[in-house]
Chains A and B, each alone.
Chain A
């Protein structure tokens, strides 16, 4: 699959002259939303539904370009001050007019530690939010913050609902749809917001069905009961559906990576030679072609294809058992009579851990065999997500196979992960040069300048190997053949559903 370019299997059916209005769309979700309060949402289902109920100041399109939404324009007054000019004539679905007070309220609550917003770390550089008048709001930052606009995609909530304990289950937004009903673990139904300020969405109703079994999703799509399903989907199902004339498969490079997180303090993994050997033994081509069936692409860095930060200057590391053995031999590891690498009487044994996801388990099983070729004994540890992530966060692992999603800005995938002492630096990596580069990139204006800094940091990371980035995750949307107007937005936003309709 060509990186960053949309590929479509099967031709959509001939487009009717005029979109049909007032239909019902049926879409699958893999899990139920935990909450519909956008400030508290951290699962993809909640974010998908919220993208239709709430509007942010700025939306990101598929190319991560800024789309004025509740903010019609903005200007950077100085390196630490941003002014947003708000759209007039907008009301929330409860009739309350949208004003700057709502923006102030939204971000003030997110920044309140007692509110427990999952994404508070993205907004901590905001020192204050002030309503200059009803339609102008000013953000003051503690330091220049380059990814600031990328993070202004938070849904805005009405300030007059402060103290409303039911807001998470009875959300009120300015978006094109309102919540009609929510049957937990079953169905979230939306109906068109008759007071929406923007272009009227085509569908009158959108029903999100919670369907944890992907086979059920595929069956329902092919039978016509569902109109649209999305990632995550088993690669084999995607390949099969590509040959099904009743559906259209759309694939795009997403905004996520799969990687090995390597505990830098582990007695074995702190040895650079062992990390280099693991990097040589990570067969990115085989993993992406054979396990993900080409949906994912080989990768070397956290810089996403199809974004301004992406670079081809950093080559994908080559897979080589011989190179791995050579680097281990140079470090004093040699194969014993049983073919296992040994040094000072100790055999080279690594535990590869991940959570109970079939694709991740396959990757570990595959790599276990590859490591054995180079004389490394690999044990596999599979746990449920809660146990696994608790262990990773407590640094109780050697090598963990994990992923990141939603990397709309390189800062989101690198600052918290690689800067010394930061919250997502589970591997306990510390490199003063990387700290300096990532901090500078966070504060530098201009994508070209930022890109240069991120590329430098990525090169050091590829040398020091706190992460071994394996692949860029693909994003798949599959629709019935009669579904018109479906486009991809690899940020995971489902806002495109406003333009979707069903031809007869």
Chain B
């Protein structure tokens, strides 16, 4: 068996105990928080008898270990359960929210990389120049600026003053938006992209700030190494030295940071989703926690963990592409 295949299989198998551990921790943590989903469902008009009745029907009056076994049993059959407060299956709630988060995360990362890579490279190449200084000011601002403030600022400018982009909402369901062009209708996709621009830009600018610093730092490190000096001495063009030799080696560090950022974005950006009324995984998870909707919380965290693990796997695999010295065992 090829080393890469064996490595992949090993990583997938390792995912199982990780997900099980997360499931256990989240299950017991969420049940330890005070608050009863039956009370949230029935509202403050509910009588103690009605609450007790609903508790019993939902199995919430069972010992916690019994509830856990019941949950695991259903999970192993692929059943994430029914949302306690949303009158829908957890799978359907996540199936709607996850694509919204995915497209926003991808868009935000594209924006971040479009800004961060050139900026970081230029800052490193022309170190201590006014460009470098401007780049670092941008990075500092981006890292320290509260995301809700940046979002509000962008809404004020692009939506309220210049009326270029809408200030809230999805525009069109993701599935519809991407399927419509195949039927000759690009309008839903255009609407989705227009609505996605401001929240994506908000997240992208924040991400670009951090990534540009990493790119600069990694590039400075690599550009100071002997093999770069050798390449220049051998007459290799400066652009090839920077973009082919230096960047490729610097990317190993950058890819790690980008992977982590992307992973966090996949968990949903609650503040941005709230400001822009973007129905993503962040809001779904937080709303579920506040409503003590245990099955939905479990489902969201499980999906988030799987996505994060998948991104980490892709990052690890990319090392072999970027650095031939890396081998899989």
A235 CB to nearest B CB, Å: 19
Number of interface residues of A (CB under 8 A): 48
Binds A, one of B60-68, B160-168, B221-229, B248-256: B160-168
Give the CA-CA distance A120 to B96 in the complex, in Å.
32
**Binary interface profile of A, 401-424, with partner B (CB < 8 Å = 1, else 0)?**
000100000000000100000011
B48 at the interface (CB under 8 A from A): yes
B291 at the interface (CB under 8 A from A): yes
**Binary interface profile of A, 92-125, with partner B (CB < 8 Å = 1, else 0)?**
0000000000000000000001101011111000
- Chain A residues with CB under 8 A of B41: 34, 42, 116, 118
Judging by beta carbons under 8 Å apart, are B283 and A116 in contact? Answer: no
Contact of B42 among A118, A185, A383, A416 (CB under 8 A): A118
**Binary interface profile of A, 250-268, with partner B (CB < 8 Å = 1, else 0)?**
0000000000000000000
Contact of A209 among B42, B159, B275, B277 (CB under 8 A): B277
Binds A, one of B32-40, B72-80, B121-129, B138-146: B32-40
Number of interface residues of B (CB under 8 A): 51
Interface residues of B in 273-300 (CB under 8 A from A): 274-277, 279, 283-284, 287, 290-292
Judging by beta carbons under 8 Å apart, are B88 and A169 in contact? Answer: yes
A368 CB to nearest B CB, Å: 23
Q: A34-B85, A183-B173, A424-B44 are in contact. Are A114 and B33 (CB under 8 A)?
A: no
Instruction: Name the residue on A nearest B38 (C-beta).
Output: A116
Instruction: Name the residue on A nearest B43 (C-beta).
Output: A42
B5 at the interface (CB under 8 A from A): no
Judging by beta carbons under 8 Å apart, are A220 and B168 in contact? Answer: yes
B115 at the interface (CB under 8 A from A): no
Judging by beta carbons under 8 Å apart, are A118 and B287 in contact? Answer: no
Judging by beta carbons under 8 Å apart, are A225 and B167 in contact? Answer: yes
Q: A216-B168, A424-B44 are in contact. Are A184 and B279 (CB under 8 A)?
A: yes
**Binary interface profile of B, 170-181, with partner A (CB < 8 Å = 1, else 0)?**
100100000000
B160 CB to nearest A CB, Å: 5
Judging by beta carbons under 8 Å apart, are A386 and B168 in contact? Answer: no
Judging by beta carbons under 8 Å apart, are A185 and B87 in contact? Answer: no
A390 at the interface (CB under 8 A from B): yes
Instruction: Name the residue on A nearest B287 (C-beta).
Output: A185
Give the CA-CA distance A118 to B85 in the complex, in Å.
12
Contact of B45 among A31, A216, A424 (CB under 8 A): A424
Give the CA-CA distance A29 to B146 in the complex, in Å.
26
B57 at the interface (CB under 8 A from A): yes
The list of the 10 closest CB pairs from A to B, nearest first, reads A423-B47, A386-B35, A42-B43, A186-B279, A168-B87, A185-B279, A211-B277, A387-B34, A35-B87, A387-B35
A37 at the interface (CB under 8 A from B): yes
**Binary interface profile of B, 13-56, with partner A (CB < 8 Å = 1, else 0)?**
00000000000000000000111110111111111111101100
Instruction: Name the residue on A nearest B156 (C-beta).
Output: A219
B155 at the interface (CB under 8 A from A): yes
Judging by beta carbons under 8 Å apart, are A216 and B167 in contact? Answer: yes
Judging by beta carbons under 8 Å apart, are A393 and B39 in contact? Answer: yes
B191 at the interface (CB under 8 A from A): no
Judging by beta carbons under 8 Å apart, are B277 and A222 in contact? Answer: no
- Chain A residues with CB under 8 A of B97: 184-185
Instruction: Name the residue on A nearest B96 (C-beta).
Output: A184
Q: A183-B96, A183-B170 are in contact. Are A384 and B35 (CB under 8 A)?
A: yes
Judging by beta carbons under 8 Å apart, are A390 and B160 in contact? Answer: no
What are some 21 contacts across the A-B interface (CB < 8 A)? Answer: A34-B87, A114-B53, A116-B42, A120-B47, A120-B50, A169-B87, A183-B96, A186-B169, A211-B277, A216-B276, A216-B277, A219-B167, A385-B290, A386-B34, A389-B39, A390-B35, A391-B34, A423-B48, A423-B50, A424-B44, A424-B47
